[in-house]
Amino acid sequence: MKTYKDVDEYIVSFPKETQMLLEQMRTVIRKAAPKALEVIAYGMPAYKYKGALVYFGGYKNHLGFYPTGSGITTFKDELSAYKSSKATLQFTLDKKLPIGLSTKIVKFRVKENDEKEKEKPSK
């Protein structure tokens, strides 16, 4: 697995069309979770906010979005048009990204991590 120093380096390693979609997804996440820390984890862009939040990655034929299992199950009906698994969504490169839906998922994950943090016993 190639290692990247940051998300900028990751994104520019892709063809121009894919770069545009990756930048779009990055913008969606940053707007929906402005306090999240942007890092590279598992060789792809990752966002942390009170724990793991979401990940995304570019591939030959799709953009992968990883909002954890709860991010998939909670929006299962709205995601039926996309290829998905337990914790992964695939957005094909030839279609527009579902910006509104992606934003809702990221905001849901922020809220979920906020609630998990509140439930932790204080030290």
Reported as a single tens digit per residue, the pLDDT across 79-118 is: 999 999 888 999 999 999 999 999 999 999 999 999 998 8
Decide which of 1 and 72 is more confident: 72
Number of domains in the chain: 1
Query: Domain of 106?
Result: 7-111
Residue 117: predicted pLDDT = 87
What CATH number did the domain enclosing 84 receive?
3.90.1150.200
Structure confidence by residue, pLDDT tens digits, 28-58: 999 999 999 999 999 999 999 999 999 999 9
- The answer to whether position 52 is within a domain reads yes
- The answer to whether position 78 is within a domain reads yes
What is the percentage of the chain residues whose pLDDT exceeds 70?
A: 98
Decide which of 35 and 121 is more confident: 35
- The answer to whether position 116 is within a domain reads no
d(CA 26, CA 99): 11
Q: Quick check: 43 and 2 in contact, CB under 8 A?
A: yes
- The answer to whether position 37 is within a domain reads yes
- The answer to whether position 68 is within a domain reads yes
Token pair for 114: 């906020």
Query: Which residue, 67, 103, 61, is CA-closest to 84?
Result: 67
